[in-house]
């Protein structure tokens, strides 16, 4: 299982966006341009 986390460029603490997802689901989610804001944040995933 995987979770999606939001990482901030300014060093703020990461935030969990979604949990209990498959690798396919997190890769699809994170490839969407709406999951990042240039210079502010981006969403990534990690195994749980």
Question: What pLDDT is recorded for position 46?
Answer: 97
Q: How many domains does the chain have?
A: 1
**1-48 pLDDT per residue, tens:** 999 999 999 999 999 999 999 999 999 999 999 999 999 999 999 999
Domain span holding position 38: 2-47
Report residue 9 as tokens: 């460029």
Residue carrying structure tokens 């299982």: 1
How confident is the model at residue 13, as a pLDDT?
Answer: 97
Question: Do the Cβ atoms of 30 and 44 come closer than 8 Å?
Answer: yes
């Amino acid at each position: 299982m995987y979770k999606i986390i939001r990482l901030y460029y300014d060093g703020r603490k990461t935030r969990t966006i979604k949990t209990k997802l498959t690798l396919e689901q997190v890769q699809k989610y994170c490839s969407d341009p709406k999951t990042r804001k240039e210079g502010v944040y981006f969403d990534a995933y990690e195994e749980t």
